[in-house]
Amino acid sequence: MNNIFIIGVGLIGGSFALDIKALHPECKVFGIDTTEAHLEEALQLGVIDEKANFEDLNKAEIVIIAIPVDATLEVLPKVLDHISDDTIVFDAGSTKEDICDKVRNHPKRRNYLAVHPIAGTEHSGPKAAIHGLYKNKTNIICEVEETAFKLQEKALKLFSDLGMRIRYMNPKAHDKHIAYVSHLSHISAFMLGKTVIDKERNERDIFDMAGSGFASTVRLAKSSPAMWTPIFKQNKTNVIETLDEYIDNLKHFKQLMEDNDFEAVYNEMEKTNHIKDILNGIQ
Amino acid sequence: MNNIFIIGVGLIGGSFALDIKALHPECKVFGIDTTEAHLEEALQLGVIDEKANFEDLNKAEIVIIAIPVDATLEVLPKVLDHISDDTIVFDAGSTKEDICDKVRNHPKRRNYLAVHPIAGTEHSGPKAAIHGLYKNKTNIICEVEETAFKLQEKALKLFSDLGMRIRYMNPKAHDKHIAYVSHLSHISAFMLGKTVIDKERNERDIFDMAGSGFASTVRLAKSSPAMWTPIFKQNKTNVIETLDEYIDNLKHFKQLMEDNDFEAVYNEMEKTNHIKDILNGIQ
């Protein structure tokens, strides 16, 4: 491998860079970012080898776009305009329908692969980049048939070398399902954090009484609003649907408590305990 | 130390037993449990040294009650009836108001200390007992002034040897605050799990698309309904209050999305990011 371009040198892009450099010490990693301080930091941390800009993209073998999903809508067409016929470009965004629609008729559509690696942490920026982030993680690929065969192959080889499991979906199904298992979890955590913070004027009280259970449930409320706001905006319809169902379930649970129907409260929890089997597969 | 009695040889009681035996190899740990299979398992795992029953309690130096909070209401007065004047009894329940009320006028009230160690995992039973569960964890003590001074001292020495931080609260404040940082988190996780399970007929889809973020947010939905139902029942008023506020916050977030006010969506999250500082203190 030769020239890898990372657009957005944060947690996601930076972690790709680190693993690719480990696999292919001969390759050169170029970074593009709107935040100059991030580029400098990525250079110093050895996440990238060199700063670059869009005019350099014609020498890229692989371009990885790892920026907020609203910015990807603007940046991807520009990237496709600049690359050679043999370059494979993929993004890593948490929404896939809008981005696939955006480039549907771009002359270089065949150079793009729509990708969503289910990997990350609640941290962000170049410092958050870590080795092995993608190992044993699921990578969802949408509209694979729209990408040139040889370029699909190159990207799949890379994902396989990184230790990822591949799943193919259409963008609509992706956005609908991911709203449940990812987007809703984030809102649930953010609003839990808000509820507790609003209530407790004296933070020492929270700090002292909260245990590892609270920490786990609210962990995602540390996530970046700059990354998540555009995701909720792009996936608005699906996310609102999940929120309606979640709120209804919470109201129903509350109603059972108000009715003193604690047998039903027990059953609600007992039926959901089944989540154990699902989680065992994830962790 | 001599004879320690553990009533309820599960995660909480068993973990006390393991640590006390490590600290005081000379002491003998007796187990009482309504489930014979748990007692046998606890014996085989070395969590307890001997099975016992209520008639043996007169030789106890310390009695630890670690059973569901509804059962504690029945068991604690019986335990107090059986012990000697020098025995210290403490429970580990997640609600403190009802239990303190229950024994307020018991002739042996001075032998009881109302305790809530903020420690645990989502697992249960004797097998879930682990060494060091209580190290660096908070231990909330209620109505400390109602307990005989020498017996307070003995319990506090034990908690200190286990590495716990002590916080004193009144039972009313305890139940109100813990509803926010513990009880609400459990309902939020259970209902998140339910929402996703209900939606996804095909579990392979959840399994494949869910990442570590979902796993973290929903982890508490693995908890025991037998333990949690009585907690919600005893702390009904406070829990319903937290649920009302949580549901209102979720509805407000949804409304902002429906209004396309994504600047406000951003601000909601940004204000809550502040939870980082609180969590840094916990983990």
Tens digits of residue pLDDT in B94-103: 999 999 999 9
Q: Do B180 and A189 touch (CB under 8 A)?
A: no
The three-class DSSP label of residue B112 is strand
Q: Angle at the Cα of B146 (from B144 to B151), degrees rounded to 5? A: 70
Is the pLDDT at B57 greater than 80? The verdict is yes
B196 vs A180, A223, A283: nearest CB: A180
Query: Could you tell me which residue, B4 or B211, shows the higher pLDDT?
Result: B4
**Statement to judge: residues A132 and A192 lie in one domain:** no
**Statement to judge: residues B34 and B162 lie in one domain:** yes
Structural domain count, chain A: 2
Residues 194-253 of A with CB under 8 A from B: 194-200, 203, 205-223, 225-226, 228-230, 232-233, 236, 239-240, 242-247, 249-251, 253
Among all residues of chain B, which has the CA nearest to that of A250? B191
Size of interface A-B (CB pairs under 8 A): 305
Distance CA B102, CA B82 (A): 17
The residue among B87, B91, B145, B146 whose CA lies nearest residue B116 is: B91
Residues 6+ apart with CB under 8 A from B160: B166
Q: Angle at the Cα of A187 (from A185 to A191), degrees rounded to 5? A: 120
pLDDT score at B270? 96
The three-class DSSP label of residue A215 is helix
A214 vs B182, B215, B229: nearest CB: B182
Structural domain that includes position A193 = 174-282
Q: Diameter of chain B by CA atoms? A: 68
The answer to whether the beta carbons of residues A217 and A187 sit under 8 Å apart is no
pLDDT score at A206? 65
**Statement to judge: residues B53 and B149 lie in one domain:** yes
Is the pLDDT at A281 greater than 80? The verdict is no
Residues 6+ apart with CB under 8 A from A74: none
The answer to whether the beta carbons of residues B65 and B87 sit under 8 Å apart is no
**Statement to judge: residues B154 and B182 lie in one domain:** no
The answer to whether the beta carbons of residues A4 and A20 sit under 8 Å apart is yes
CA atoms within 13 A on the CB side of B110: 8
CATH code of the domain covering residue B246? 1.10.3660.10
Residues 6+ apart with CB under 8 A from A246: A184, A188, B191, B192, B195, B250
Distance CA A113, CA A146 (A): 8
Characterize B54-67 residue by residue with b for buried, 16 or more Cβ atoms within 10 angstroms of its Cβ, and e for exposed.
eeebeebbbbbbbb
Distance from CA of B160 to the nearest CA of A (A): 16
Strand order in the sheet with B3-7: B50-51, B28-32, B3-7, B62-65, B88-91, B112-117, B138-142, B165-169
Is the pLDDT at B203 greater than 60? The verdict is no
The overall average pLDDT reported for chain B is 94
Distance CA A45, CA B234 (A): 53
Is the pLDDT at B92 greater than 90? The verdict is yes
**Statement to judge: residues B18 and B134 lie in one domain:** yes
Give the residue from B133, B149, B169 where a domain finishes.
B169
Question: Quick check: A128 contacting B, CB < 8 Å?
Answer: no
**Statement to judge: residues B148 and B34 lie in one domain:** yes
Mean pLDDT computed over A131-154: 97
| Interface predicted TM-score of the whole assembly (ipTM), two decimals | 0.92
Distance from CA of B80 to the nearest CA of A (A): 28
Mean pLDDT computed over A72-78: 98
**Statement to judge: residues B21 and B155 lie in one domain:** yes
Q: Cα A6 to chain center, whole Å?
A: 15
The answer to whether the beta carbons of residues B80 and B106 sit under 8 Å apart is yes
B210 vs A181, A228, A244: nearest CB: A181
Helices (H), chain A: 11-23, 36-44, 69-82, 97-102, 149-161, 171-178, 184-199, 203-209, 212-218, 225-234, 236-258, 262-272, 275-282
Give the residue from A154, A169, A184 where a domain finishes.
A169
Distance from CA of B82 to the nearest CA of A (A): 32
Q: Do B167 and A245 touch (CB under 8 A)?
A: no
Q: Do B273 and A222 touch (CB under 8 A)?
A: yes
Distance from CA of B133 to the nearest CA of A (A): 11
CA atoms within 13 A on the CB side of A209: 27
Is the pLDDT at B166 greater than 70? The verdict is yes
Distance CA A111, CA B135 (A): 55
**Statement to judge: residues A148 and A224 lie in one domain:** no
Q: 């965004």: which residue's tokens?
A: A93
Residues 153-192 of B with CB under 8 A from A: 165, 167, 177-178, 180-182, 184-192
Among all residues of chain A, which has the CA nearest to that of B215? A279
> Residue A235 phi/psi, 5° resolution?
-105, 30
The answer to whether the beta carbons of residues B134 and B164 sit under 8 Å apart is yes
Distance from CA of A130 to the nearest CA of B (A): 15
Distance from CA of B252 to the nearest CA of A (A): 10
Distance CA A144, CA A152 (A): 7
pLDDT score at A121? 86
CATH code of the domain covering residue B46? 3.40.50.720
**Statement to judge: residues A201 and A135 lie in one domain:** no
A206 vs B167, B233, B278: nearest CB: B278
Distance CA A18, CA A238 (A): 34
Question: Quick check: B140 contacting A, CB < 8 Å?
Answer: yes
Residues 6+ apart with CB under 8 A from A283: B212, B215
**Statement to judge: residues B55 and B162 lie in one domain:** yes
pLDDT score at A143? 98
Q: How many residues does chain A have?
A: 283
Give the residue from B169, B190, B213 where a domain finishes.
B169
Distance CA B200, CA A277 (A): 14
B128-162, pLDDT tens digit by residue? 999 999 999 999 999 999 999 999 999 999 999 99
* Helices and strands counted in chain B (H then E): 13, 8
**Statement to judge: residues A144 and A179 lie in one domain:** no
Confidence of residue A123 (pLDDT cuts 50, 70, 90): confident
**Statement to judge: residues B139 and B197 lie in one domain:** no
Mean pLDDT computed over A148-166: 97
Distance CA A32, CA A39 (A): 7
